[in-house]
Structure 1
Amino acid sequence: MLLPTRTVEKVWGRDSLPAPFIAPEGVRVGEIWFEPQPELPELLVKYLFTSEKLSVQCHPDAEQAKAAGLGRTGKEECWLVVAAEEGATLGVGFNEEIDTETMRAAALDGSIEHLLTWHRVQAGDYFYIPAGTVHAIGPGCSIIEVQQNSDITFRLYDYGRPRELHLDQGISVARGTPHPDTLRGSIPTSGHATLVDGPQFRLDLVDGVADDGLLYSYASKLLVVPLSGEVLVAGEVVAPGQCAQAPDLASVTFAPEGKCLVTAPTV
């Protein structure tokens, strides 16, 4: 089943998008969401397109969100870069471990931006971002984001823009640590790869036809996001730029020469 899309205009979005997307005239598209359905509400897939830096922010886990009265779902996510302008960067984690007092002071004076580790990125790079990871997206990035279906974001710093910050809440859940290098990498030029095998969701790259191990891992409902080549989900064609919900991996026919993301909750 193809998921319906929602186009979200943002001041930091772009009026020129990578194929297969086309921005409506006069619209700066920041996000394209694939609306979760009642049968699989736990995960949200969307594309992000940036022309400016996004805020320095973090997200709570489920226990922290519940304790704050913000719902039962926290937010873990993974970014896959699908296109990047020269010099594009993502800020994920800190250069070195810092305490909460240092983080608060840096958020207040803006130096927190420079304490983040900024990774120069290109198409194919991915970053798994557990809840509590302080992060920011730079300009010139086109990203597929797979996340828990939660909109809880704590902004720590926003470059002086007139938007609400959530300093106390953010500091209370933020990890003042570097991002582990085991949680990021680049997808291989050929072959399957597991991008995330976390407590909240699993995310895999399928190159060509899925193997038996993946069939076992995705024995129930999942989301399918083609990167190249069309796939069939229960007989329905799904092309790059689309996302579909499938009852299980056995119902998906992959393009022998294509690449595709598949993801499902693990809880």
Structure 2
Amino acid sequence: MTSNDSTVFVELTPFRIEPRFVSRVWGSRDLRPWYDCVAKEEPIGEVWLTGDDCEIATGPHAGTTLGEIFKEQPQAMMGAGALSSDSPLLIKVIFAREKLSVQLHPDDRLAQKYGEPRGKTECWYALAAEAGAQVAAGLKAGVTMDEVKAGIDGGTLEKDLKMLSVRAGDMILVDAGTVHAIWPGSVLLETQQNCDLTYRMYDYGRGRELHIEKSLEAARLKTKAGKVAPRILEDRTVLVESQYFCVERIPVEVSRPSASLYREDEPKPGLAYLFAAEGSGRLTSPSFATLDLRVREVVAVPASSPVFAIQDTGGLDLIRITPRWPRVVA
């Protein structure tokens, strides 16, 4: 695709996405009160909010998967000049009842070396956290790669991890190459590059596949991982901004026009995801039927969306997530 591509730029109205519940050995069997979901078999560890296989729940494309709509209408979804027709971000809610594996993700270069389109930088926003909740994000200062190898072999890798306490409202960046782990005690909103590549270093004897050689190739002793201080602007709070995504909290006082959701320095038009961390909202427009934003669900706002107003219908805590990706040069 090039910036002078002749693809017709059709109008796509905002739509709600059906969450997809994904089994994980370390997950929970009962997601209430967060979601009305009780696992019948394997525990649920992740709720995918923008996965390629998630179904569109409202509007003329209801029943279509999110991945399909990106393939069919990439410019309408992401704006003219998007580099590919792949969905750029995967957004999840993480429910850990047990420790996740000690793991990491490759960067773009290494992922492409092994035939994958992209690597995985991610961030975690703590929706809730119990007293004493922790995550690991990186290695302690001074740890060597030989010590990492010894920790994998001897089952002592945890002692080399940089542990962070987690409280509700914390934002933690985990860039590609960071050795990391999530421990029980928090509910995390994860925003990541749309990639499911995970290299496990250590998995507490669960019997799942480990990826020692690739994980050591991908691992970085020093990364940018850690807590990110919020950046408070006049009309929003920027929770994190990386080369791949931006996550913001945006106040909605009764009603707010869609044009005001944009920042002055961001590409227009562009794709946005609206997530109700608490409460509920409603999108209204002369161009489409009223659309409810329900608690802990996502509404996608395509780049070609007509104008609308977003209303607070009860305690709305609005998180806006936008992708960042290279733009094609003509």
Q: TM-score, normalised by structure 2?
A: 0.72
Counterpart for residue 92 of structure 1:
137
Counterpart for residue 298 of structure 2:
243
Worse overlay, 16-25 or 168-177? 16-25
SS at match of 1:230: strand
1:22 maps onto 2:36 in alignment: yes
Q: Hey, what's the Cα distance between the residues in 1 that align with 2:266 and 2:311?
A: 16
Q: Hey, what's the Cα distance between the residues in 1 that align with 2:138 and 2:221?
A: 7
Query: Which structure 2 residues correspond to residues 121-160 of structure 1 after superposition, within 5 A?
Result: 121-160=166-205
1:230 maps onto 2:230 in alignment: no
Q: 1:229 is aligned with what amino acid?
A: G
Taking structure 1 as reference, are residues 238 and 59 closer, same or farther at Cα in structure 2, changes over 3 Å only? same
Deviation at 1:213, TM superposition (A): 5.7
Count of residue correspondences: 264
Q: 1:237 is aligned with what amino acid?
A: D
SS at match of 1:255: strand
Deviation at 1:113, TM superposition (A): 1.0
The answer as to whether partners of 1:94 and 1:179 remain within 8 angstroms in 2 is no
The answer as to whether partners of 1:96 and 1:178 remain within 8 angstroms in 2 is no
Match of 2:96 among 43, 50, 75: 50
Map Cα deviations across residues 157-185 of structure 1 (whole Å, 9 max, x no partner). 1112211111110111111126555x434
SS at match of 1:22: coil
Q: Hey, what's the Cα distance between the residues in 2 that align with 1:245 and 1:95?
A: 39
Worse overlay, 195-204 or 59-68? 195-204
The answer as to whether partners of 1:95 and 1:178 remain within 8 angstroms in 2 is no
Counterpart for residue 6 of structure 2:
none
The answer as to whether partners of 2:236 and 2:249 remain within 8 angstroms in 1 is yes
Gaps of 5+ in 1: none
SS at match of 2:26: strand
SS at match of 1:105: helix
Counterpart for residue 27 of structure 2:
13
Q: 1:152 is aligned with what amino acid?
A: L
- Let me know the Cα RMSD of the aligned residues: 2.6
Q: 1:236 is aligned with what amino acid?
A: L
The answer as to whether partners of 2:172 and 2:225 remain within 8 angstroms in 1 is no
Gaps of 5+ in 2: 1-14, 53-65, 71-76, 78-86, 285-289, 326-330
Q: Hey, what's the Cα distance between the residues in 2 that align with 1:161 and 1:169?
A: 19
Counterpart for residue 75 of structure 1:
120
1:119 maps onto 2:164 in alignment: yes
Query: Which structure 2 residues correspond to residues 148-227 of structure 1 after superposition, within 5 A?
Result: 148-177=193-222, 181=226, 183-185=227-229, 192-208=236-252, 209=256, 211=260, 214=263, 217=266, 219=268, 220-227=270-277
Deviation at 1:68, TM superposition (A): 2.0
Worse overlay, 144-153 or 27-36? 27-36
SS at match of 2:16: coil
Counterpart for residue 312 of structure 2:
255
Larger radius of gyration: 2
Deviation at 1:106, TM superposition (A): 1.4
The answer as to whether partners of 1:155 and 1:164 remain within 8 angstroms in 2 is yes
Percent of paired sites with the same residue? 29
SS at match of 1:90: strand
Counterpart for residue 108 of structure 2:
62
Taking structure 1 as reference, are residues 101 and 214 closer, same or farther at Cα in structure 2, changes over 3 Å only? same
Map Cα deviations across residues 79-126 of structure 1 (whole Å, 9 max, x no partner). 111122232211111221333222112122122211111112121111
Taking structure 1 as reference, are residues 43 and 106 closer, same or farther at Cα in structure 2, changes over 3 Å only? same
